[in-house]
Each structure stands twice: as structure tokens, then as C-alpha cells.
């Protein structure tokens, strides 16, 4: 484990042991064994208000919402365009079917202005998987900063070095996520951990004693 400047830590993960929590098969998360991680984060955090931007078929939502159900409280608000998104998508009905019986609210809405729905300091968990690139990282972490509670965790897809080198990131000249993580706003306002196991995730918390 290598500790980076600014209390930010990089963790190299070689493997996860999976017990088969989730049976949804149309997610890259399942291919790379993240289900127990998502479930465990929610169990440990014990959040009340959770928000997911980018739900697709509901794999990550299923893992997090199952933890909320096991805790006995908390809700997960999921936002996606589903079939209205021109690139990788599934019907909203697929997510609804996969998440039936869990404490989840589905909203078909562009994720760009969702933060306006929430009061200051009320969101305990924010999960973001919306074709993430460096620009998305900086915008989301800026827009949502005031909405996050003091104990809040932000989970964002991406962060692995290999994730910044995938075809569409290079073809469309997207800002690398690693570059965004070194930006002034993020380094001044957040501590983070990067799990460098493709596609990687970045877990962030607001720094204490920093005003917006």
C-alpha cells in the first residue's frame, strides 16, 4: 500500500472472494468481483439517504440496496436515462425487475442537475457511474460537495491507470481521471482511496475543517 501526498491512499487489490450476492449478469462490476465491496461499504457506513447516478441494469444498486434492507433502514435513489441514453443502455424495466422488493426509488432523469433535489448536508452515500472521465469527476465532486453529510462517502467508477487508457477515453480525448484527482478542488476538499483493480473505483470523503 502506497500513501500519496495529501492523505490520499492508493491500494493495489489483487483479488476478491465472491460469495454470489448478486445474480445480475449485465455489468462489468460483476466481471471484476465488486459485489461484496459495495455491500460491505453500506453495512459499515449505515447511511440513510443514498444516491446512485448511472444504474443501468442495477448491479451496484442491488448490492447496496440489499445491505440497506439487511440494516433495516435507508433508501437508495437511482437516476439513469436507460433506453433514452444513446450509448450503452438497457430498458428501465430491466432495472425495475432486478431491484424489485428492495428499498430503491428509480428516476428516469439526466444526472447533471440531480444534486438540486437534495438539501445541504443530507446525502450519506453517492455512487457515480456515468461514463466517468476527469471532467465528470470534477463536476460531480464540485456540484455535490455541499449536499454531502459529514460522514458521507462518494464512490466513483474509475481510477485505475488502465481505466484511463480504454479506447473511448483515448478516442474522444477525455480528461484522464488520474489528472482530475490531482486538481486543486479535489485535493483541497477530499481525501480519497483508489482501488487499482480494473476498472477501479475511487472512494472519497470530505476533508474535515474545509469550507465549500
Confidence tier at 8 by pLDDT (50, 70, 90): low
Q: Name the pairing type of β-strands 8-11 and 2-4.
A: antiparallel
Q: pLDDT digit string (tens) for 36-50?
A: 889 999 999 999 999
Each residue's pLDDT tens digit, 67-116: 999 999 999 999 999 998 888 888 999 999 999 999 999 999 999 999 99
165: left (phi over 0), alpha (psi -120 to 50) or beta: alpha
**Does the predicted TM-score (pTM) go above 0.85?**
yes
Tell me which residue of 107, 8, 20, 102 sits closest to 62, measured CA to CA.
102
Give the pairing of strands 190-195 and 2-4: unpaired
Q: How far is CA 34 from CA 18, 107, 170, 189, in A?
A: 8, 24, 25, 26
Amino acid at each position: 500500500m502506497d500513501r500519496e501526498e495529501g492523505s490520499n491512499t492508493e491500494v493495489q487489490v489483487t483479488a476478491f472472494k465472491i460469495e454470489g450476492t448478486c445474480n445480475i449478469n449485465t455489468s462489468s462490476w460483476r466481471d471484476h468481483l465488486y459485489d461484496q465491496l459495495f455491500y460491505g461499504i453500506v453495512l459499515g457506513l449505515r447511511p440513510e439517504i443514498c444516491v446512485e447516478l448511472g444504474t443501468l441494469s442495477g448491479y451496484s444498486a442491488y448490492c447496496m440496496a440489499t445491505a440497506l434492507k439487511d440494516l433495516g433502514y435507508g433508501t437508495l435513489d437511482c437516476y439513469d436515462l436507460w433506453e433514452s441514453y444513446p450509448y450503452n443502455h438497457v430498458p428501465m424495466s430491466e432495472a425495475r425487475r432486478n431491484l424489485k422488493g428492495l428499498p430503491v426509488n428509480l428516476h428516469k432523469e439526466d444526472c447533471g442537475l440531480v444534486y438540486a433535489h437534495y438539501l445541504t448536508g443530507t446525502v450519506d452515500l453517492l455512487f457515480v457511474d456515468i461514463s466517468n472521465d476527469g471532467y465528470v469527476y470534477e463536476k460531480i465532486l464540485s456540484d455535490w460537495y455541499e449536499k454531502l453529510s459529514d460522514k458521507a462517502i462518494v464512490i466513483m467508477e474509475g481510477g485505475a491507470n488502465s481505466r484511463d487508457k480504454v479506447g473511448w477515453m483515448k478516442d474522444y480525448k477525455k480528461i484522464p481521471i488520474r489528472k482530475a484527482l490531482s486538481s486543486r478542488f479535489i485535493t483541497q476538499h477530499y481525501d480519497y482511496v483508489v482501488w487499482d483493480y480494473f476498472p477501479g473505483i475511487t472512494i472519497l470523503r470530505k476533508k474535515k475543517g474545509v469550507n465549500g
